[in-house]
Chains A and B, each alone.
Chain A
């Protein structure tokens, strides 16, 4: 039952507020098993929605409790449950014990909201859970963040709230003008509207989701929020929450406006290449490794947008796979940066040095950081390669110049990861000052699991691709009708 995907973390968030951490991890584990069960029940060859559930909720508003999962949401559901589990497992590293129960509770609440948004099949229900994320994430940043946490959290809150109202405005327009009885996706037929109206609504939705993803020039909240947030929260923000933006773009942009999509896709491709280049250049200029990873995240979301804009079957499959890949790699990098911050006590590129030193450094963490950098730069054999390759191959026919710019962007990605790895991992460790506390196996464990996943999906990408293949093919077929 898909309801359990929402209910288990929700119940967990109520329970975890009072009980020890083991309970929170237990509920996250149960959610993870439930998502595996969904995968097991899911028929990979059916393009449409599966495991449907339907209950009238507030008929006066057109709000129905309508759930379903397809190839677009399935990979993200799996990603969300996996990352939540790892975040709760690895949280003790960066979260002091005093208010950890509240932390666990908020993380589970946020997870419940993301899950519900992913499986909702009613516009208002999506929006309800999309907005539900506001307060848990606000508190997660504001309570456990760094020096400027209150500023960063408020900025995040305002940006996300604006994104929410733009989307709500778009949804009200969709429901009101297309003359549907309720806000179920199946009932929304914008194709009868004039092209101008369609474009207007689509623009509202696009800007709303662009803030969430975020795309340049709506990205200014991201460096503050990602950097000020503690590592586990940064992982959730980048690995899980940002995916709601790209998911919404595909589901409501591409999915609901197949006729109008080709009008805006050249513009989107241009924004995508701009985002990629900007993200990479900004990352090169950073002196703080967490900020560097944050900007690398901006750039990598650009690839997703490029694939979505190109809207060829290959590019869209690549875009969905890139969402998962980005989530795993970003979680991995942020976790390792978190470990370095806790053990070494700084994130400054100019101070860090020689961490690969086998005796007094953090050898295993540094080794994994190198693997993370490689995965992010799209080295073959790791999870980053195949999605990017699919996107480039699929988009080149549609948008050659933006695609070439994006390829240039991957080159720049390699540049800043070389800078990062060169400064932090290599070089000579200062013999007098560096006596770092050892990283325990318990603290290594989440990163090791992520290494395994990144390697596995790098060697065996057909899994990742097969989850979404039939759905994305059907979406593209609807456009090209």
Chain B
């Protein structure tokens, strides 16, 4: 093999965004090492700039003729571009909201940002990994960096508890996933590339196909852990509650998006031969997640736990798009994840801001907030209503698209269940809005009575404010003006080669 053809097969340009993130990571680390603590005034902004640069690089990658890179280890197709974009945006917003938060807890930003960027890197590679080994390495990069981040507040026992729980359950589930991967390796006769495994599995006889089902169950368990689908969700509330809030935000959006990227690629490429079985399996996950997540969220008293259970319920909605199995279904899943990114990060930014100013996450402490901080109240209300699927917020359009795609694919029962559980979810989201807006001045909570004067001049708060405003704006206008997002979601599916075999929806075939 001569150099030219090797270079073409390596196609190293496909990981330009990842290279940018890596350079930023090393840059921040080195600057912190050389310049000391004082550099942390501006290194976070360097991190955000690096991530935005990666986003730009992703934009230029769209529509590339040859997406396969590193001899088939990595795929830069539109699907992976969209998911990598989601991870990158989630990381950028997380940095914006953590500058002040980390400063206030007295820990060092110079380590926090490199670890977060490492997790981002893991998520990005996971979104594009096309081969078992690189897939597993990416998964572990994301997971190990996440364990570190979860326990970053060393002085806080809850943070330590969260890290330990996450580490133990995460390690177990990653072992289960690895076991499934090893079965795949054996069943396919020593293949590691996903496409080759898929092809080998489709030649199995009915007698040996049960092996594929067992592999599916193990792999699905690993995936369900990452997207915190019921019954693999037990870690979620404790970890979300104990982690530093910006990290909770990243786990609920960035890490989850990477999990869905993994799910989509593995299920569509590797398991088409056991299509019915994986549809059944994930339909069960969707039912359990929608019901349990939304019902248990009703009784929560801590804002972070509420958002944890709500994110379990939301994952159930997203799985609905996956189970639909049509091009429309996958597109609606991507669309909902994009919308979910903005509304959930918006909500978390508001929660971080509130806890910065009052030091608490209790829902009852939000009582009467509108009097002291109208912007925070408005932003949090809009994001929560969007999560509840109230029009004209973006979340309404996201849910509508999911349900419509599901309905067209014939998932009547799942769609009806989704409709019912989304009414349940309205109740607990509105409960928070009620606390903030409806309570009379005399019913104001202690935390709000002692609310500090609203100021944005402290270092790092400006970035948080920009993040909050952008998230809320996209959440409120992204629904009405969602044509660009719809096009992005649709073309990320239709232009990706691996979905060529997937049936388009009934409506599309008629158009």
CB-defined contacts of A176 to chain B, threshold 8 Å: 404, 407-408, 506
The answer to whether B438 and A139 touch across the interface, beta carbons within 8 angstroms, is yes
Bound-complex Cα distance A169 to B403 (A): 9
The answer to whether A138 and B401 touch across the interface, beta carbons within 8 angstroms, is no
A135, CB-defined interface residue at 8 Å: yes
Chain B 387-431 residues near chain A, CB threshold 8 A:
390-392, 396-397, 400-401, 403-404, 407-408, 415-416, 419-420, 422-423, 426-427, 430
The answer to whether A179 and B482 touch across the interface, beta carbons within 8 angstroms, is no
Known: A138-B430, A142-B434. A172 touches B423 (CB 8 A): no
Stretch at the interface among A150-158, A235-243, A414-422: A150-158
The answer to whether B427 and A154 touch across the interface, beta carbons within 8 angstroms, is yes
Chain A 109-162 residues near chain B, CB threshold 8 A:
124, 128-129, 131-132, 134-135, 138-139, 142-143, 150, 153-154, 157-158, 161-162
B10 to chain A, nearest CB (A): 37
The answer to whether A128 and B396 touch across the interface, beta carbons within 8 angstroms, is yes
The answer to whether B385 and A135 touch across the interface, beta carbons within 8 angstroms, is yes
The answer to whether A142 and B438 touch across the interface, beta carbons within 8 angstroms, is yes
Chain B 9-47 residues near chain A, CB threshold 8 A:
none
The 5 lowest CB-CB distance pairs between A and B, nearest first, are A165-B419, A142-B438, A128-B391, A161-B423, A172-B407
B490, CB-defined interface residue at 8 Å: yes
The answer to whether B423 and A162 touch across the interface, beta carbons within 8 angstroms, is yes
Bound-complex Cα distance A104 to B87 (A): 41
A58, CB-defined interface residue at 8 Å: yes
The answer to whether A139 and B437 touch across the interface, beta carbons within 8 angstroms, is yes
A168, CB-defined interface residue at 8 Å: yes
The answer to whether A181 and B416 touch across the interface, beta carbons within 8 angstroms, is no
Known: A58-B483, A60-B486, A128-B396. A165 touches B420 (CB 8 A): yes
The answer to whether B434 and A150 touch across the interface, beta carbons within 8 angstroms, is yes
The answer to whether A143 and B437 touch across the interface, beta carbons within 8 angstroms, is yes
Bound-complex Cα distance A179 to B441 (A): 54
Bound-complex Cα distance A161 to B430 (A): 12
A186, CB-defined interface residue at 8 Å: no
Looking at chain A's contact residues, is the secondary structure mostly helix, strand, loop, or mixed?
helix
The answer to whether B392 and A169 touch across the interface, beta carbons within 8 angstroms, is no
CB-defined contacts of B403 to chain A, threshold 8 Å: 168, 172
Other A-B pairs beyond A58-B482, A142-B438, A168-B419, 16, CB < 8 Å: A60-B328, A62-B404, A62-B507, A132-B390, A134-B390, A135-B430, A135-B433, A138-B430, A139-B437, A154-B427, A158-B427, A165-B420, A168-B400, A173-B407, A176-B408, A181-B507
CB closest chain-B residue, reference A98: B441
Interface residues on A, range: 20 to 34
Bound-complex Cα distance A138 to B404 (A): 27
B511, CB-defined interface residue at 8 Å: yes
A136 to chain B, nearest CB (A): 11
CB-defined contacts of B434 to chain A, threshold 8 Å: 142, 150, 153-154
Bound-complex Cα distance A128 to B400 (A): 10
CB-defined contacts of B328 to chain A, threshold 8 Å: 60
CB-defined contacts of B507 to chain A, threshold 8 Å: 62, 181
B508 to chain A, nearest CB (A): 9
Bound-complex Cα distance A179 to B482 (A): 24
Known: A134-B390, A154-B427, A157-B430. A143 touches B438 (CB 8 A): yes
A158 to chain B, nearest CB (A): 7
Specify which of B404, B423, B434, B482 lies most central, judged by the most chain A CB atoms within 10 Å of its CB: B404
CB-defined contacts of A172 to chain B, threshold 8 Å: 403-404, 407, 415
The answer to whether A131 and B423 touch across the interface, beta carbons within 8 angstroms, is no
Bound-complex Cα distance A165 to B390 (A): 11
The answer to whether B404 and A131 touch across the interface, beta carbons within 8 angstroms, is no
CB-defined contacts of A124 to chain B, threshold 8 Å: 400
CB-defined contacts of B408 to chain A, threshold 8 Å: 176
